[in-house]
Chains A and B, each alone.
Chain A
Amino acid sequence: MEIEGEHHPLDEYLRADRIPHIWCPGCGLGTVLNGFLHALEETDIDLKNLAIVSGIGCTGRIAGYINVDSYHTTHGRAIPFATGLKLANPKLKVVVISGDGDLFAIGGNHFIHAARRNIDMTVICVNNYNYGMTGGQLGPTTPLESKTTTTPYGNIEHPFNLCHVAHASGAVYVARWTALHARRMKDSIKEALNKKGFSFVEIIASCPTTYGRRNKMPTGLDTMKYYKEKSVIKHGIEPEKADIEIGGEIIVGKFVDIEKPTFNEEVEKLIRRFHK
């Protein structure tokens, strides 16, 4: 049996000259990128009509590794740039891939209002519970009592439940997976890409270097084993019941899948009404 491989089948979607990427060994971001590319391969999206937008942070690097039109924007402003792209060119398929700090702390307001307007885009948020690139500070999703560089005695701030935020703001598709659920994550991203309207997929990923190390999960493999032990699939559950607590169950699954007219459709309707 041959064992030496040379050309990975996904290399045509990657900027292969930049691989190996800069992420740490055991980081979940590579798995997310892998799942996204597998999903992209299975959809019939024209790569010339696809734009990937990302903000700042470790996750923001994803846009730079995919060999399609990609846009690495300012911190927290991935969604406004993506909104602009979509409104200027409605034929474009716009995907935002960014981290929890970028999308929900610095860019929190933008996320809420893009979901409220139901702009036709897919948002993939990689949640690693902290600000990984800057050294592991407390983020908006850090679970209670977990330790980061800025909360050495344990976090006392209540974290965001990202799926609940997305659902309450009006997203039409909301799902959550961990990096361990690679196949389900891929299927979910595929569904989100094919969905019309504001679709949101949260992926919980390991950050061994800055978060795991301080929370008794020093390697990526430890974190993945933790996900295997604690995650429970509950499709269709109310997202408000899917809070994440340290040591508690991680509820994953597809929570919301509804139909709603998108912003672009409403604009077209308005134009048609006045240009008879």
Chain B
Amino acid sequence: MKYWVKKELKPPHGKVYIIEDRCKGCGFCIEFCPQQVLQESEEFNSRGYHPPKLVENDKKCIGCSFCSLVCPEFAIYIEKEEENED
């Protein structure tokens, strides 16, 4: 009988990958992330732009992939993380 087992819904998580040397620092991903996961880094990439980096609380990403859709440089992508069922 599984009818009474109440599953808790958890928000999905995503893993952010950034190809730093492709970034031209337009800031679209930082501005339009719905979870505000990204911020501008202080370091330069090989072409002199500031690529994005993750903010402290790295579990905030829900894997919506909007950053990867809006990025004009193909410099960021998301992999959805499978939640382990406890």
Which residues of A are in contact with B by a Cβ distance under 8 Å? 1-6, 8-11, 14, 19-21, 23, 25-31, 33-35, 38, 179-180, 182-183, 186, 219-221, 224-225
Q: A6-B19, A219-B27 are in contact. List 20 more A-B contacts (CB 8 A).
A: A3-B18, A4-B17, A4-B19, A5-B18, A5-B76, A20-B24, A20-B47, A25-B24, A26-B24, A26-B27, A26-B72, A29-B72, A30-B73, A31-B70, A31-B72, A35-B69, A180-B70, A183-B66, A220-B26, A224-B28
Tell me the dominant secondary structure on chain B's binding face. mixed
Q: How far is the CB of A271 from chain B (nearest CB, A)?
A: 44
B residues 40-56 near A (Cβ < 8 Å) are 47, 49, 53-54
Q: Are A182 and B69 in contact (CB under 8 A)?
A: yes
Contacts of B17 in A (CB 8 A): 2-5
| 6 cross-chain pairs, A with B, having the tightest CB-CB distances, nearest first | A30-B72, A5-B17, A25-B24, A182-B69, A26-B26, A182-B70
Are A220 and B74 in touch, CB under 8 angstroms? no
- B65: shortest Cβ distance to chain A, in Å? 9
Residues from chain B with Cβ under 8 Å of A25 in the complex: 24-26, 49
**In the complex, are the beta carbons of B74 and A8 less than 8 A apart?**
yes
CB closest chain-B residue, reference A31: B72
Q: Which residues from B are CB-within-8-Å of A179? A: 70
Partner of A8, one of B20, B69, B77: B77
Name the one of B18, B26, B74 contacting A34, with C-beta atoms under 8 angstroms: B74
Q: Which of B16, B28, B66 contacts A220 (CB 8 A)?
A: B28
Taking a contact as CB atoms under 8 Å apart, the answer to whether B18 and A221 are in contact is no
Whether the Cβ atoms of B27 and A1 lie closer than 8 Å is no
B22 to A, closest residue via Cβ? A20
- Closest chain A CB from B62 CB (angstroms): 14
Chain B residues positioned under 8 Å from A183 (CB to CB) = 66, 69
